[in-house]
Amino acid sequence: MRRNAGNRLPDSLRGAALVAGLATIPALALAAAPEPKTFRDWMAGCDNVKTCTALSLPAETADPIAYLRLERPAGPAGTASLVLRLRGEWKTPPRTVQIKLDGADFPANGKPLPVTADADLAKLTFSPDDMAALIEAARKATKLTVTAPGLTGSISLAGSVAAMLWIDEQQGRLGTTSALVRKGTSTAVPAAPALPVIAAVPAPPMLDMKAGKQQAASLRAELKKKDPDSCEDDTALVEQDEAWALGNKRVLVALACSRGAYNLSSSFFIMPENEPAKAAPLSFADGGNDLTNASFDPRTGHIAFFDKGRGIGDCGAAGGYAWTGNAFVQTEFSMMGECRGISPEDWITLYRSKGK
Protein backbone atom coordinates (compact mmCIF):
# COMPACT_ATOMS: atom_id res chain seq x y z
CA MET A 1 0.00 0.00 0.00
CA ARG A 2 1.06 3.59 -0.53
CA ARG A 3 2.45 5.33 2.52
CA ASN A 4 0.50 8.23 3.98
CA ALA A 5 1.93 11.67 3.25
CA GLY A 6 2.27 12.90 6.82
CA ASN A 7 5.24 13.69 9.07
CA ARG A 8 8.54 11.97 8.20
CA LEU A 9 12.25 12.67 8.56
CA PRO A 10 14.93 10.07 7.77
CA ASP A 11 16.97 9.14 10.82
CA SER A 12 20.13 9.70 8.77
CA LEU A 13 19.25 13.39 8.76
CA ARG A 14 17.90 13.80 12.23
CA GLY A 15 19.88 11.45 14.40
CA ALA A 16 18.69 11.64 17.99
CA ALA A 17 18.20 15.39 17.83
CA LEU A 18 15.63 15.82 15.07
CA VAL A 19 11.90 15.39 15.29
CA ALA A 20 10.54 12.27 13.60
CA GLY A 21 8.45 13.28 10.61
CA LEU A 22 8.59 14.75 7.09
CA ALA A 23 8.31 13.06 3.76
CA THR A 24 11.18 11.84 1.58
CA ILE A 25 14.28 14.06 1.69
CA PRO A 26 16.18 14.20 -1.63
CA ALA A 27 19.23 12.05 -0.97
CA LEU A 28 21.45 13.33 -3.78
CA ALA A 29 21.07 16.89 -2.53
CA LEU A 30 22.39 15.72 0.80
CA ALA A 31 25.16 13.73 -0.82
CA ALA A 32 26.39 16.95 -2.45
CA ALA A 33 27.09 18.63 0.91
CA PRO A 34 27.58 17.66 4.55
CA GLU A 35 24.33 16.87 6.37
CA PRO A 36 23.14 19.46 8.91
CA LYS A 37 24.74 18.98 12.28
CA THR A 38 23.40 19.83 15.72
CA PHE A 39 25.59 21.63 18.26
CA ARG A 40 23.59 21.77 21.49
CA ASP A 41 21.05 24.57 20.81
CA TRP A 42 22.37 25.35 17.33
CA MET A 43 22.30 23.65 13.94
CA ALA A 44 24.64 24.18 10.99
CA GLY A 45 24.87 22.98 7.41
CA CYS A 46 26.58 23.75 4.10
CA ASP A 47 25.39 23.45 0.53
CA ASN A 48 27.06 22.14 -2.63
CA VAL A 49 29.10 25.33 -3.10
CA LYS A 50 30.11 25.49 0.58
CA THR A 51 27.84 28.37 1.52
CA CYS A 52 27.19 27.57 5.17
CA THR A 53 24.42 28.48 7.60
CA ALA A 54 24.21 28.36 11.39
CA LEU A 55 20.85 28.64 13.17
CA SER A 56 19.93 28.94 16.81
CA LEU A 57 17.05 26.62 17.76
CA PRO A 58 14.29 28.17 19.87
CA ALA A 59 13.11 26.11 22.81
CA GLU A 60 10.11 23.92 21.97
CA THR A 61 7.95 26.00 24.33
CA ALA A 62 9.41 29.38 23.36
CA ASP A 63 6.95 32.27 23.23
CA PRO A 64 7.73 34.58 21.57
CA ILE A 65 9.95 32.92 18.95
CA ALA A 66 13.40 34.46 18.53
CA TYR A 67 16.42 33.08 16.69
CA LEU A 68 19.73 34.02 15.08
CA ARG A 69 20.79 33.03 11.57
CA LEU A 70 24.36 33.35 10.30
CA GLU A 71 25.19 32.69 6.65
CA ARG A 72 28.53 32.81 4.88
CA PRO A 73 29.54 32.04 1.29
CA ALA A 74 32.79 30.15 0.73
CA GLY A 75 35.92 31.61 -0.78
CA PRO A 76 38.26 34.49 0.08
CA ALA A 77 35.57 37.08 -0.62
CA GLY A 78 32.83 35.28 1.32
CA THR A 79 31.41 37.74 3.85
CA ALA A 80 29.29 36.56 6.76
CA SER A 81 25.90 38.05 7.56
CA LEU A 82 23.96 37.72 10.81
CA VAL A 83 20.26 38.39 11.34
CA LEU A 84 17.93 38.06 14.30
CA ARG A 85 14.25 37.21 13.86
CA LEU A 86 11.59 37.94 16.43
CA ARG A 87 8.03 36.72 15.96
CA GLY A 88 5.36 38.33 18.10
CA GLU A 89 1.86 39.69 18.23
CA TRP A 90 1.82 43.46 18.11
CA LYS A 91 -0.62 46.15 17.07
CA THR A 92 2.19 48.42 15.95
CA PRO A 93 5.33 46.70 14.55
CA PRO A 94 8.49 47.65 16.45
CA ARG A 95 11.06 49.96 14.91
CA THR A 96 13.86 49.08 17.31
CA VAL A 97 14.75 46.33 19.78
CA GLN A 98 17.01 46.18 22.81
CA ILE A 99 19.63 43.42 23.07
CA LYS A 100 21.28 42.04 26.20
CA LEU A 101 23.88 39.29 26.66
CA ASP A 102 23.58 37.55 30.02
CA GLY A 103 21.83 40.66 31.29
CA ALA A 104 24.45 43.15 30.05
CA ASP A 105 23.65 45.68 27.36
CA PHE A 106 24.71 44.86 23.80
CA PRO A 107 26.22 46.88 22.25
CA ALA A 108 27.92 48.12 25.37
CA ASN A 109 26.45 51.60 24.99
CA GLY A 110 22.96 50.10 25.24
CA LYS A 111 21.73 51.74 22.04
CA PRO A 112 18.49 50.35 20.54
CA LEU A 113 19.02 48.54 17.24
CA PRO A 114 16.76 49.19 14.22
CA VAL A 115 14.52 46.44 12.84
CA THR A 116 12.23 45.96 9.88
CA ALA A 117 8.90 44.23 10.50
CA ASP A 118 6.61 42.31 8.18
CA ALA A 119 3.32 41.12 9.71
CA ASP A 120 4.31 39.23 12.87
CA LEU A 121 8.03 38.91 12.07
CA ALA A 122 10.68 41.50 12.87
CA LYS A 123 14.20 41.34 11.43
CA LEU A 124 17.40 42.81 12.81
CA THR A 125 20.44 42.80 10.51
CA PHE A 126 23.63 43.21 12.51
CA SER A 127 26.33 45.57 11.26
CA PRO A 128 29.72 43.95 10.59
CA ASP A 129 31.12 45.48 13.79
CA ASP A 130 28.18 44.34 15.93
CA MET A 131 28.32 40.88 14.37
CA ALA A 132 32.03 40.55 15.15
CA ALA A 133 31.44 41.75 18.72
CA LEU A 134 28.57 39.29 19.21
CA ILE A 135 30.62 36.35 17.87
CA GLU A 136 33.44 37.23 20.25
CA ALA A 137 31.03 37.64 23.18
CA ALA A 138 29.44 34.25 22.43
CA ARG A 139 32.64 32.56 23.66
CA LYS A 140 31.54 33.34 27.23
CA ALA A 141 27.90 34.52 27.09
CA THR A 142 25.17 31.89 27.39
CA LYS A 143 21.99 33.76 26.50
CA LEU A 144 20.86 36.65 24.32
CA THR A 145 17.60 38.42 25.11
CA VAL A 146 15.80 40.68 22.66
CA THR A 147 13.12 43.07 23.85
CA ALA A 148 10.51 44.88 21.79
CA PRO A 149 7.60 46.84 23.24
CA GLY A 150 5.47 44.35 25.16
CA LEU A 151 7.55 41.21 24.69
CA THR A 152 10.98 39.67 25.28
CA GLY A 153 12.50 36.70 23.43
CA SER A 154 15.40 34.52 24.54
CA ILE A 155 18.12 32.91 22.38
CA SER A 156 20.51 30.28 23.73
CA LEU A 157 24.13 30.72 22.66
CA ALA A 158 25.05 27.19 23.76
CA GLY A 159 26.67 25.54 20.76
CA SER A 160 27.02 28.73 18.71
CA VAL A 161 30.81 28.81 18.85
CA ALA A 162 31.04 25.11 17.96
CA ALA A 163 28.67 25.65 15.00
CA MET A 164 30.76 28.55 13.69
CA LEU A 165 33.98 26.62 14.23
CA TRP A 166 32.51 23.79 12.16
CA ILE A 167 31.66 26.27 9.40
CA ASP A 168 35.23 27.60 9.42
CA GLU A 169 36.45 24.03 9.05
CA GLN A 170 34.12 23.28 6.11
CA GLN A 171 35.29 26.41 4.29
CA GLY A 172 38.98 25.91 5.01
CA ARG A 173 39.22 29.03 7.18
CA LEU A 174 40.73 27.59 10.37
CA GLY A 175 43.81 29.57 11.30
CA THR A 176 43.13 32.29 8.74
CA THR A 177 42.46 35.99 9.18
CA SER A 178 38.88 35.52 7.93
CA ALA A 179 37.90 32.74 10.36
CA LEU A 180 34.80 33.36 12.44
CA VAL A 181 36.26 31.75 15.56
CA ARG A 182 39.76 30.28 15.36
CA LYS A 183 41.65 33.08 13.67
CA GLY A 184 45.28 32.97 12.57
CA THR A 185 47.71 34.79 10.31
CA SER A 186 47.15 32.86 7.08
CA THR A 187 45.21 34.51 4.29
CA ALA A 188 44.91 31.38 2.13
CA VAL A 189 41.25 30.38 1.82
CA PRO A 190 40.05 27.81 -0.76
CA ALA A 191 37.96 29.13 -3.62
CA ALA A 192 34.23 28.38 -3.58
CA PRO A 193 33.11 25.52 -5.84
CA ALA A 194 31.44 26.58 -9.07
CA LEU A 195 27.69 27.12 -8.86
CA PRO A 196 25.79 24.69 -11.14
CA VAL A 197 24.11 26.43 -14.07
CA ILE A 198 20.70 25.06 -15.05
CA ALA A 199 19.10 26.17 -18.32
CA ALA A 200 15.38 25.80 -17.71
CA VAL A 201 13.07 25.51 -20.73
CA PRO A 202 9.50 26.83 -20.54
CA ALA A 203 6.86 24.29 -21.44
CA PRO A 204 4.60 24.72 -24.52
CA PRO A 205 1.06 26.09 -24.12
CA MET A 206 -0.87 24.16 -21.50
CA LEU A 207 -3.24 21.35 -22.27
CA ASP A 208 -6.82 22.36 -21.72
CA MET A 209 -8.29 20.99 -18.51
CA LYS A 210 -10.30 18.25 -20.19
CA ALA A 211 -7.33 16.98 -22.23
CA GLY A 212 -5.07 17.08 -19.18
CA LYS A 213 -7.53 15.08 -17.10
CA GLN A 214 -7.85 12.52 -19.89
CA GLN A 215 -4.07 12.02 -20.08
CA ALA A 216 -3.85 11.62 -16.29
CA ALA A 217 -6.84 9.26 -16.18
CA SER A 218 -5.34 7.01 -18.85
CA LEU A 219 -2.08 6.73 -16.90
CA ARG A 220 -3.87 6.08 -13.63
CA ALA A 221 -5.86 3.26 -15.27
CA GLU A 222 -2.66 1.77 -16.72
CA LEU A 223 -0.90 1.80 -13.35
CA LYS A 224 -3.97 0.27 -11.72
CA LYS A 225 -3.73 -2.70 -14.07
CA LYS A 226 -0.05 -3.26 -13.33
CA ASP A 227 -0.17 -2.70 -9.56
CA PRO A 228 -3.49 -1.92 -7.86
CA ASP A 229 -1.70 -0.63 -4.76
CA SER A 230 0.74 1.69 -6.54
CA CYS A 231 -1.44 4.78 -6.11
CA GLU A 232 -4.45 5.37 -3.91
CA ASP A 233 -7.45 6.27 -6.03
CA ASP A 234 -10.22 7.76 -3.92
CA THR A 235 -12.23 10.52 -5.59
CA ALA A 236 -10.65 13.38 -3.68
CA LEU A 237 -7.18 12.31 -4.82
CA VAL A 238 -8.15 11.69 -8.45
CA GLU A 239 -9.49 15.25 -8.64
CA GLN A 240 -5.95 16.49 -7.89
CA ASP A 241 -4.38 14.72 -10.89
CA GLU A 242 -2.78 17.07 -13.43
CA ALA A 243 -0.98 16.92 -16.78
CA TRP A 244 1.00 19.42 -18.84
CA ALA A 245 2.43 19.43 -22.35
CA LEU A 246 6.24 19.25 -22.58
CA GLY A 247 6.61 19.43 -26.36
CA ASN A 248 7.45 16.76 -28.93
CA LYS A 249 4.19 15.02 -28.03
CA ARG A 250 5.34 14.39 -24.47
CA VAL A 251 3.24 14.98 -21.37
CA LEU A 252 4.19 15.55 -17.73
CA VAL A 253 1.66 13.81 -15.49
CA ALA A 254 1.29 14.20 -11.72
CA LEU A 255 -0.92 11.61 -10.05
CA ALA A 256 -2.06 12.42 -6.51
CA CYS A 257 -1.32 9.17 -4.70
CA SER A 258 -1.59 9.79 -0.97
CA ARG A 259 -2.73 12.48 1.42
CA GLY A 260 -2.01 13.24 5.06
CA ALA A 261 -3.32 15.97 7.31
CA TYR A 262 -1.34 18.67 5.50
CA ASN A 263 0.72 16.91 2.84
CA LEU A 264 -0.30 15.69 -0.62
CA SER A 265 2.12 13.26 -2.25
CA SER A 266 2.12 13.09 -6.07
CA SER A 267 3.92 10.70 -8.41
CA PHE A 268 5.39 12.27 -11.56
CA PHE A 269 5.75 10.65 -15.00
CA ILE A 270 6.68 11.66 -18.52
CA MET A 271 4.68 9.83 -21.15
CA PRO A 272 4.06 10.06 -24.88
CA GLU A 273 0.66 11.59 -25.57
CA ASN A 274 -2.11 8.98 -25.37
CA GLU A 275 0.39 6.16 -24.70
CA PRO A 276 0.22 5.49 -20.96
CA ALA A 277 1.86 2.08 -21.32
CA LYS A 278 5.07 3.90 -22.32
CA ALA A 279 5.06 6.34 -19.39
CA ALA A 280 8.37 6.63 -17.53
CA PRO A 281 8.52 7.69 -13.86
CA LEU A 282 10.69 10.71 -13.17
CA SER A 283 13.76 10.11 -11.03
CA PHE A 284 14.19 12.84 -8.46
CA ALA A 285 17.19 13.31 -6.21
CA ASP A 286 16.09 10.60 -3.77
CA GLY A 287 15.74 8.09 -6.60
CA GLY A 288 11.94 8.06 -6.43
CA ASN A 289 9.30 9.88 -8.46
CA ASP A 290 7.21 11.32 -5.60
CA LEU A 291 7.12 14.93 -4.44
CA THR A 292 5.03 16.47 -1.67
CA ASN A 293 2.79 19.53 -2.11
CA ALA A 294 4.34 19.98 -5.56
CA SER A 295 3.38 22.37 -8.32
CA PHE A 296 4.60 22.79 -11.90
CA ASP A 297 4.84 26.22 -13.55
CA PRO A 298 4.92 25.70 -17.34
CA ARG A 299 5.94 29.32 -17.89
CA THR A 300 9.29 28.68 -16.20
CA GLY A 301 9.54 24.89 -16.56
CA HIS A 302 9.99 24.62 -12.82
CA ILE A 303 8.58 22.12 -10.29
CA ALA A 304 8.51 23.34 -6.68
CA PHE A 305 7.71 21.26 -3.61
CA PHE A 306 7.16 21.98 0.08
CA ASP A 307 7.06 19.00 2.42
CA LYS A 308 5.64 20.14 5.74
CA GLY A 309 6.82 18.56 8.97
CA ARG A 310 3.69 19.90 10.64
CA GLY A 311 0.72 22.00 9.70
CA ILE A 312 2.13 25.47 10.35
CA GLY A 313 5.02 24.75 7.98
CA ASP A 314 7.88 25.68 10.29
CA CYS A 315 9.84 22.50 9.56
CA GLY A 316 10.22 20.12 6.66
CA ALA A 317 11.90 20.24 3.27
CA ALA A 318 11.53 22.45 0.21
CA GLY A 319 13.14 22.56 -3.21
CA GLY A 320 12.68 22.41 -6.93
CA TYR A 321 13.54 20.97 -10.32
CA ALA A 322 13.84 22.59 -13.74
CA TRP A 323 12.85 21.15 -17.12
CA THR A 324 15.82 21.31 -19.51
CA GLY A 325 14.00 19.97 -22.54
CA ASN A 326 15.19 16.44 -21.85
CA ALA A 327 14.97 15.94 -18.09
CA PHE A 328 14.08 17.55 -14.78
CA VAL A 329 17.24 18.67 -12.95
CA GLN A 330 17.45 19.68 -9.31
CA THR A 331 17.80 23.43 -8.76
CA GLU A 332 17.48 23.95 -4.99
CA PHE A 333 16.91 22.17 -1.71
CA SER A 334 16.56 23.36 1.89
CA MET A 335 15.38 21.73 5.06
CA MET A 336 14.70 22.21 8.75
CA GLY A 337 14.42 19.11 10.86
CA GLU A 338 13.38 20.81 14.10
CA CYS A 339 9.83 22.16 14.44
CA ARG A 340 10.70 25.34 16.33
CA GLY A 341 8.87 28.20 14.59
CA ILE A 342 11.65 28.94 12.08
CA SER A 343 10.40 30.48 8.83
CA PRO A 344 11.02 28.51 5.59
CA GLU A 345 13.13 31.34 4.14
CA ASP A 346 15.56 30.79 7.01
CA TRP A 347 15.93 27.01 6.65
CA ILE A 348 19.36 25.56 5.93
CA THR A 349 20.12 25.41 2.21
CA LEU A 350 21.83 22.19 1.12
CA TYR A 351 21.71 22.63 -2.66
CA ARG A 352 21.55 25.65 -4.92
CA SER A 353 22.09 26.55 -8.58
CA LYS A 354 21.62 29.49 -10.91
CA GLY A 355 19.61 29.88 -14.06
CA LYS A 356 21.02 30.50 -17.48
Identify whether 81 is part of a domain: yes
Residue 12 has pLDDT above 90, yes or no: no
pLDDT number for residue 152? 95
Looking at the structure, tell me whether residues 205 and 61 fall in a common domain.
no
What domain count does the chain have?
2
What is the average per-residue pLDDT within 35-45? 95
User: How would residue 286 be classed by pLDDT, with cut points 50, 70 and 90?
Assistant: confident
Identify whether 177 is part of a domain: no
Identify whether 235 is part of a domain: yes
pLDDT number for residue 34? 56
What is the domain-level CATH number for residue 111?
2.60.40.1880
pLDDT number for residue 4? 37
pLDDT number for residue 21? 32
The 10s digit of each residue's pLDDT in 228-273 is 999 999 999 999 999 999 999 999 999 999 999 999 999 999 999 9
Looking at the structure, tell me whether residues 208 and 243 fall in a common domain.
yes
Cβ atoms 83, 345 nearer than 8 A: no
What is the average per-residue pLDDT within 215-230? 95
Q: Could you give the percent of the chain with pLDDT greater than 70? A: 90
Identify whether 5 is part of a domain: no
Answer with the residue of higher pLDDT: 156 or 209: 156
User: How would residue 287 be classed by pLDDT, with cut points 50, 70 and 90?
Assistant: confident
pLDDT number for residue 22? 34
The 10s digit of each residue's pLDDT in 143-198 is 999 999 989 999 999 999 999 999 999 999 999 999 999 999 999 999 999 999 99
pLDDT number for residue 290? 96
pLDDT number for residue 264? 97
Domain span including residue 131: 50-170
The 10s digit of each residue's pLDDT in 14-28 is 333 333 333 333 333
Looking at the structure, tell me whether residues 161 and 262 fall in a common domain.
no
User: How would residue 118 be classed by pLDDT, with cut points 50, 70 and 90?
Assistant: confident
Looking at the structure, tell me whether residues 343 and 254 fall in a common domain.
yes
Q: Which of 170, 185, 207 is the last residue of a domain?
A: 170
Looking at the structure, tell me whether residues 204 and 77 fall in a common domain.
no
Residue 13 has pLDDT above 70, yes or no: no
* Segment among 6-10, 134-138, 299-303, 306-310 with least mean pLDDT: 6-10
pLDDT number for residue 7? 35
